[in-house]
Amino acid sequence: MPLFFLKKEELWFPRLNEMGSDIVAFGGDLRPERLLLAYSMGIYPWYERPRNIFWWCPEERSVLFLKDLHVSHSMRNLINRGAFTWTMDQAFDDVIDGCRSGERLADTWILEEVARAYKKLHQMGYCHSVEVWQDGELAGGLYGVSLGNLFFGESMFAVRPNASKFALIMLAQFLREKNWQMMDFQVANDHTRTFGVRDVPRELFLDLLRIQMKFPTVRGNWGDPAIWENPVRTPHPW
């Protein structure tokens, strides 16, 4: 299948039946409208060099069905001991910067332009963070994009042992209580698989995505209880 080139002045992505390999397009930009359109279609950006954007929709997609969340005995003990506390959308910039510093900066995909783009999505209410605290200091966290009833996980970090695991568990349990069904992890690793993340064919993921996109987006600061007690759901922006 061809690899489509996206011009900055044009806002589009290949139709689903035109997708071939894991990489479906390159080029374009990281403006909010393009990012939101991409996620709504199951596509996400990933690249290693500035201004060389590749757009991905893997043939095998890694997801966590929230009913299948696995919490190990050791993590249950840690949670029960109250070793950490957690918040949402209270320190987004610190979390994304922590995810950047948690990687080798020469290799990280979270380049400065990427960080700016997701910080903009956060300001618009579409990108969210989970912060994990210990002794008043940020111990770890994660961030991702949310559209409909689906959270697209992007990255996580920990400066204290198990802090990123705690963040993932707390968010998954929270969304499960809100009757959400799944989280997207794009491509799984040994770390995320321990929680029950598994691969599904792209066609199945896209079918599930379309179902979750039928729900309006809960937009805003997820740390505000009023958003969840009396949700003000907004129409999708595409």
pLDDT digits (tens, 9 = 90+) for 163-220: 999 999 999 999 999 999 999 999 988 889 999 999 999 999 999 999 999 998 999 9
The counts of H helices and E strands in the chain are 8, 13
User: Six-digit token pair at 196?
Assistant: 């029950």
The CA distances from residue 27 to 43, 53, 63, 186, in Å, are 13, 5, 26, 20
Comparing 4-59 with 62-234, is the CATH topology the same?
no
pLDDT digit string, tens, across residues 49-107? 666 799 999 999 999 999 999 999 999 999 999 999 999 999 999 999 999 986 544 45
- The correct answer on CATH 3.40.1190.20 for the domain covering 62-234 is no
Report yes or no on whether pTM surpasses 0.75. Answer: yes
State residue 108's pLDDT score: 62
pLDDT digit string, tens, across residues 105-145? 445 678 999 999 999 999 999 999 999 999 999 999 999 99
Can you give the residue ranges of every domain in the chain?
A: 4-59, 62-234
Q: Who has greater pLDDT, 15 or 144?
A: 144
Distance CA 92, CA 175 (A): 19
Q: Which residues contact 145 (CB under 8 A, 6 or more apart)?
A: 35, 36, 39, 118, 121, 126, 127, 128, 151, 152, 154
Cβ contact 213:148 at 8 Å? yes
Distance CA 199, CA 156 (A): 19
Q: How would DSSP label each residue in 35-97?
A: HHHHHHTT-EE--SSTT--EEE--SEEEEEEGGG----HHHHHHHHHT--EEEESSSHHHHHH
Tell me the fold of 4-59. Answer: Alpha-Beta Plaits (3.30.70)
Q: pLDDT band at 48, cuts 50/70/90?
A: low
